[in-house]
A = this chain, B = another copy of it.
Amino acid sequence: MLERFKVPAKDIVRVPEPSLRKATAAIFEKMGCSPSDAAEGADTLVVTDLRGVESHGVSNQLRAYVKQYNDGELNPRPKLRTLKETPGTATIDGDRGLGIIIGPRCMKMAIEKAKKVGVGVVTVQNSGHVGAVGHHSMIAAKADMVGMCVTSGGRHVLPTFGAEPRLGTNPISIAAPARKEPFFLYDAATSAIAGNKIFLAERVGSPMLPGWIAKMDGTPVMEEMMSPGRGNYWQLPLGGTREQGSHKGYGLALMVEVLATMLAGSSSAMLGEPRLAQDHFFAAFNIAAFTDVEAFKDRMDAMLKELRTTPPARGQKRVIYPGLSEAEEEQDRRKNGIPLHKEVVQWFDSITAELSIPKLDRMKK
């Protein structure tokens, strides 16, 4: 993550992972979730924070979910319904369940199918936010598969040359296991930056960079500026301008729309704004069906090592690969606690008091 998104040192409160996990699960239980669902939801969020992906951890998401449960938008006791099924595929109605909770269940279905026929694909309609898509891909990677998860929904991002938004930030993730190297884990929005990163930047007082957002008439903003605030900008696809490749970010967003929304038998969020317009796609490719698993891991190790030992460009410290700094961050955060913005900790203190849940611990100095 770029430095500009990190919580400034003076605003950091470090909290221990087990306490954050406990408090988060307790909140989900108070929302009406079963204990196992609550634990699953806490796991998705806290593991994401452990990896340093603040944008999709407890800070930005949890209060939104609480509101959605309180407003009755999310169903805390969803009964997943299979709309269609074949040996390699299933289409699921998520019954307004939160994606971060039902997502792991759907990826596990895909994994079971991949064990039988080599590849498994599960699509989900009628579900809430799925969190960091990479979390779900990693579940497959840990089961010796290549995992892929994408999610679509919302209407914030402009198509190339457009003056009105048509697309969600539609992220793509893929994960694959290695042997000694940290696993490969790619997880990124197809917009220039994730929507949540804009809120993070607003919280930490960092400006937007050229090519990230557009004026309301569709003109890409090509100078650095502070976010004009929600409702006063549109997001640009990855690439920013046509010359820099925004048609690729736009096309990849549509790829996600086809895989997640269309294959879930759902209708694109761009055609209206249903309250719960998130569709997900989970795929597991069973490595053993394609090739020798041990040789695969050796080849992954060789590739990932070659990448991280690439000579750096002038002025750069090192080359990393997707998943490497996240693995390093996880080691640090398990030991030294998860750095939250003091405002987020304040929110925890008020919600735990309100719901009569034990207060969030602070790391001992």
Contact = CB atoms under 8 A, between A and B. Distances in A.
Given A172-B252, A214-B313, A248-B188, A121 B119 contact: yes
Contacts of A193: 245
A300 B302 CA distance: 42
Contact of A291 (B162, B239, B265): B265
Interface string A293-329: 0011001101100110011111111111110000000
Interface in A258-301: 258-259, 262-268, 270-271, 285-287, 289-292, 295-296, 299-300
A292 B265 contact: yes
A218 interface: yes
Contacts of A232: none
Interface in A58-98: 83-84, 86-89, 91
Contact of A322 (B172, B251, B263, B267): B251
Contacts of A322: 247, 250-251, 254
B314 A89 contact: no
A183 to B, nearest CB: 11
A184 B263 CA distance: 14
Contacts of A225: none
Contacts of A190: 248
Given A264-B291, A291-B265, A307-B166, A244 B192 contact: yes
Interface of A: 2, 83-84, 86-89, 91, 114, 116-121, 123, 146, 158-164, 166, 172, 174, 176, 184, 186, 188, 190, 192-193, 209-211, 214, 217-219, 238-240, 242-245, 247-252, 254-255, 257-259, 262-268, 270-271, 285-287, 289-292, 295-296, 299-300, 302-303, 306-307, 310-322
Nearest first, the 3 closest Cβ-Cβ pairs linking A and B are A218-B313, A265-B291, A86-B118
